[in-house]
Homo-oligomer: A and B are copies of this chain.
Amino acid sequence: MAGDGIRALVFDVFGTVVDWRSSVIRELAAVGARLGVTADWGAFADAWRYEGYIGGIGRVNRGEWPFMTADEIHRRKLEELLPEYGLAGLTEEERADLNRVWHRLDPWPDSVPGLWRLKQRFVISTLSNGNVALLVNMAKRAGLPWDCVLGADVLGAFKPRAEAYLAGARLLGLQPGEVMLVAAHKADLRAAQAAGLRTAFVPRPAEAGPNVEVDLAPDPAFDLHAADFLELARLLGG
């Protein structure tokens, strides 16, 4: 069976488990409506995510920035984006709250029922570049039934560095080959595979905005390919 020898499933979170883009756009639009500001909130969300978060992680991984949490990386970019989008008038309290929109992302429809099924047979944990507080608050609000919450602040490194994947296996008391990464992003899966983990590709065609091309094609290099977490549970015999 496809799950033989696997003891834990570890999950990429942003994009794989939760729909960050719709959630962020919705909150930005609400803030804009309150202040009478209209703007391209999709472009704001994309810049926050790709230039801000993904770009910031790259800087940390290249040693250009010291280690900082996802919350701190998000906040840096938010300060840049607010004046560009007519939201310079937000108070400190409003900025801190808006930055926590990343703690309030909605799951994909299959995420919660799929995780409950997978949890019956495997240890399920996040393996995210988010920080633990962000991931715990997100899980609490969305009902994600993690057995363990691992983020970059306890892994000691950001993906795609091999240390992040290896720390995940070590903290779970497992060999890398007993752990399967579930992710919607091939670069994440390739790096996990290089570190010795098993891999399951669950593409999320609705994740990205219209300006981002996403590679959704199955890749035989990965151990499993599933359309969503419920299919993943079926493939794993759950």
Residues of chain A whose beta carbon lies under 8 Å from any beta carbon of chain B: 71, 123, 125, 131-134, 136-137, 139-140, 147-149, 153-154, 171-174
Contacts and interface: CB of A to CB of B under 8 A. Distances in A.
A148 B140 CA distance: 10
A148 B132 contact: yes
A140 B149 CA distance: 14
A74 to B, nearest CB: 13
A7 to B, nearest CB: 10
Contact of A173 (B71, B123, B171): B71
A31 B136 CA distance: 39
25 contacts: A71-B173, A123-B136, A123-B137, A123-B140, A125-B136, A131-B171, A132-B148, A132-B172, A132-B173, A133-B171, A133-B172, A133-B173, A133-B174, A134-B173, A136-B147, A136-B148, A136-B172, A136-B173, A139-B147, A140-B147, A148-B149, A149-B149, A153-B171, A154-B154, A154-B171
Contacts of A172: 132-133, 136
A178 to B, nearest CB: 11
